[in-house]
Amino acid sequence: MATYKGIQGYTVQKLSSDPTASEAAGQLWYNSGSGAFKIGTQAAGSWASAPALNTARANCASAGTSTAAIIGGGEIPPYTANSESYNGTAWTEVNNINNSRYNMGSGTTGTSTAALAIGGNSLSPVVFYGTEIWDGSCWTAGNNLVKNRPMLACCGTTTAALAMGSETPYSTSGNLSEEYNGSTWAEGNNLQNTRYQNPGAGTQTAGLVIGDYNLANVESYDGSCWSEVNNINEARYSSTAFGIQTAAATFGGAPPSPSRTTATEKYDGTSWTEVADLAIARMQSGSAGDTSSGLCIGGAGQPSTPTSGVRTETEEWADPVYTIKTVTVS
């Protein structure tokens, strides 16, 4: 009769407790404490429910990681100065941004202790805002953009950021890109395409601008010039993104029709691949983290349905997903 050692070349380990799920991937062992055989598995990335915001909102500023994030402002509606920080377990209200606003730059810019709120606007009267800087405790006014505007894409850090695009495809700033050095904004080379209501990802010298109001077009930045790269699979606007130029993801948003989408796509530096969907269709969400572990924060739900309006829900992306399973026999 064949034995496990004879087949595999080694015996099954006996452990008093389970290893972590990531350490256990691909391993089989006997847990002497529970008296059961266990196996570690690894699956493709997916979204899972995470703690909700205290204040529902869309179009906020956001930054950080999946366990340490900050958001500021946004549309509730009409708009708010409220800010919240996240520690991986719960959202907590912190000091407000100085100017109530929404439609800020979409993308992850900075960390939970050093972040930027870029652009945006208020209504009645309409005011277009510049930059505010989060230091882990308070927001302070920074220098204005070359062209203060809402609904732009952004990426980078508080000392090296990018801001791209504008509010409408007919605006004179629709293809404008600007660079921030920690003190001032300076105009850089223009985007190849005029665009708005789309997110950014990456860094100041290796950035991405993703999608458009009715296009699937994506552009890549090398620190000097923008060039077109492979399109996303589903054209959409007001989506959200995180990651770097060679490992990014975009999720949610609205196709050219009024409906919202749950679609998520990952980029490997060459092409986009559809992966696991969000649980909630939404647009104009905040984001934090990267393609290994990230957040989709708040946003606006489906129009004219029971799930319409701004959202409190947070979803967490993990890739890969590690699981420990008990081996059963029948």
Count, residues in the chain: 330
Give the integer Cα–Cα distance in Å for 112 and 66.
Answer: 10
Give the separation between CA 234 and CA 119, rounded to whole angstroms: 27
Would you call 85 helix, strand, or coil by DSSP? strand
Both structure tokens of 151? 């609904």
* Averaged pLDDT for residues 310-314: 96
Write down the pLDDT at residue 7. 53
pLDDT above 70: percentage of residues in the chain: 93
In this structure, are residues 256 and 235 in contact, taking their beta carbons and an 8 Å threshold? Answer: yes
CA distance 173 to 190: 9
For position 304, what pLDDT does the model report? 59
Does the pLDDT at position 1 exceed 60?
Answer: no
* Cα 51 to Cα 47: distance, rounded to the nearest angstrom: 13
pLDDT-based confidence at residue 85 (cuts at 50, 70, 90): very high
- DSSP letter assigned to residue 109: B
Residue 172 above 90 pLDDT? no
E strand segments, 144-283: 153-156, 161-164, 177-180, 185-187, 200-202, 207-210, 218-221, 226-229, 240-244, 247-251, 264-267, 272-275
- Report the alpha-carbon distance of residue 92 to residue 311 in Å, rounded: 16
Cα 92 → chain centroid: 19
What's the mean pLDDT in 67-81? 95
Q: For residues 74-101, give the mean pLDDT.
A: 96
When pLDDT is averaged across residues 291-310 and rounded to a whole number, the result is: 85
pLDDT of 8 over the 60 cut: no
Residue 285 — pLDDT band, cuts 50, 70, 90? very high
Phi and psi for 8 in degrees, rounded to 5? -95, -20
On the question of pLDDT at 130 being above 90, the answer is yes
Give the span between the Cα atoms of 207 and 220, in whole angstroms: 6
Question: DSSP code of 54?
Answer: S
Q: 96 burial class (0-12, 13-18, 19+ CB within 10 angstroms)?
A: middle
Q: Does domain 46-318 have CATH number 2.60.120.200?
A: no
Over residues 33-58, mean pLDDT:
94
Domain ranges of the chain: 4-43, 46-318
Q: Are 263 and 243 in contact (CB under 8 A)?
A: no
